[in-house]
Structure 1
């Protein structure tokens, strides 16, 4: 099953970064998105025919890259970021640290930032590549565990895209690479942050790494006051960008313990509680405007309450209250 190319919405965000036959231009442009590296064409008769698409999503990005020739790529260690490379066609030999795989349409590669990397791409190798910040991965993993990581996180190099876990990752990337939702994420810092968090969480929970066993251990629900700390934080700052890592740090417990506590004491997840508080604040504002027959911008009210995707907001509002935001405002105005 081939992965999709990017949607042709050039009015929403830049896609085609460049198309070139020049080695130096290719090395320089790809290096700006990823990092400086050695790039070599293998074979005298090989000619570069490179194109690259680039879609920024906050600090993360989705990229499509094809060299059109057999090439060697020597970046040493990626250092500050991780790559998940998913060939849409063709193949590549990837060596990262002590692991080596032949990557193809059914086997992605997950490149650990702290390990030496060597790659050989076959000429027709056309890859969809997700770039994630190492700091975002390690911060999320640390928050889930409730303590600093004693050593860098290391991922299993091969990802079987036909497995349940691999299929979950592939479906997510397919959605982001082809949905109009991604246009909003590219131009909105808050949405981009949420997309990055979704990618990071999915990778940490669906693909094996050196802390997978620790993350799989069951946790006990914490005492009620830990949950209250996070609840008070949400009630005071619901309009701000809030992540589970933010709440866990404020409550001084691990993100997994906090999630368990919210489920036990509130019957919902921390982020579910945050969404409910935001919805209730929007409803209060709409009811107030309707009662006084005041004109009100639903979009503005939703944004001020912390919602960044208005389509998702409207759906969540209707599920929670059984009517649309417009119906709330106009019904009370009559």
Structure 2
């Protein structure tokens, strides 16, 4: 997490803010059109996840922005106010509960970024988005729709994930996301969730899924349940899109892939604790990929009728 700038700019300060925004988010031309009020502040905060970045942006005065978004897609989500933009020859307007996706290498104009407008932006490298879209929806040539509704169940869930990622980084100063493996995992979840929330379903009439993709995914989870699996990882092994794999699990297993993975981990942990293998409860749980110990203990008690510590105590 980087706190790149936090100030109430005068007109002579705009060059510094322009440079910080260009380095953190996108190169652009900035056109201040009104002086800041005494109470208004500008600010830029960044969460760098390598292949994508989350940025919280606001300005202390009304400014116009022009950018071609070179090499990356921008998904701009107004947290307050409205974001008006023109992409090509089409005008767009997004308020809270909506987002605008700006395609890579395409001229875009935002005529009036007002002081009341605060934006949470997600910058995704274009090449990475292409690769992930092929893994997640199993189609080539997929692009994000320009207007994204975050008021759908999937949209709301993804928006909460993006806000939580940013808030966690702000709370811990970004320390957690400096680990490359953590950053890669969080980036994968953000991009996968966005694609599932924003990209329309495939046309109907295609051949129904067969159980084989489910068997492949289950075999992979059984072989390495401690791995930090992502939805895209499992879908790639199964040979289908993330959405199709989820549908197949619902039809043939009656649950989701990650709920099934959780069950596998509980079984492995229960077996180790029942035979006093692997150290204390925390050591055993972490060894099998559990990251939320409180929720794990509750789920274990629901399934086995006792706390994991009790299972270990009886085996000792």
TM more than 0.5: yes
Matches within 5 A, 1:5-20: 14=1, 16-20=3-7
Residues 59-103 of structure 1, C-alpha deviations (whole Å, 9 max, x = no match): 544432211011122221253233232232x33321223432233
- Give the Cα–Cα distance (whole angstroms) in 2 for the partners of residues 329 and 310 of structure 1: 16
Aligned twin of 2:289 = 306
- Give the Cα–Cα distance (whole angstroms) in 1 for the partners of residues 24 and 233 of structure 2: 28
Matches within 5 A, 1:109-188: 109-120=100-111, 121-147=113-139, 149=140, 151-157=141-147, 159-160=148-149, 167-178=156-167, 183=172, 186=177
TM-score calculated relative to the size of structure 2 = 0.78
Q: Which of the residues 28, 44, 47 maps onto 1:52?
A: 44
Aligned pair count reads: 307
Give the unaligned 5+ runs of structure 1.
Answer: 1-13
Aligned twin of 2:94 = 103
Aligned twin of 1:222 = 210
TM-score calculated relative to the size of structure 1 = 0.75
The answer on whether the counterparts of 2:25 and 2:55 sit within 8 Å (CA) in structure 1 is no
- Give the Cα–Cα distance (whole angstroms) in 2 for the partners of residues 87 and 303 of structure 1: 36
The answer on whether the counterparts of 1:190 and 1:308 sit within 8 Å (CA) in structure 2 is no
The answer on whether the counterparts of 1:58 and 1:186 sit within 8 Å (CA) in structure 2 is no
The answer on whether the counterparts of 1:160 and 1:166 sit within 8 Å (CA) in structure 2 is yes
Aligned twin of 1:23 = 14
Matched, 1:87 2:51: no
More displaced stretch, 193-202 vs 279-288: 193-202
Aligned twin of 2:261 = 274
- Give the Cα–Cα distance (whole angstroms) in 2 for the partners of residues 143 and 17 of structure 1: 34
- Give the Cα–Cα distance (whole angstroms) in 1 for the partners of residues 205 and 25 of structure 2: 35
Aligned twin of 2:26 = 35
Q: 1:327 to 1:223 in 2, by over 3 A?
A: same
The SS at the match of 1:129 is strand
The answer on whether the counterparts of 2:136 and 2:192 sit within 8 Å (CA) in structure 1 is no
More displaced stretch, 299-308 vs 103-112: 103-112
CA RMSD in angstroms comes to 3.5
- Give the Cα–Cα distance (whole angstroms) in 2 for the partners of residues 204 and 215 of structure 1: 16
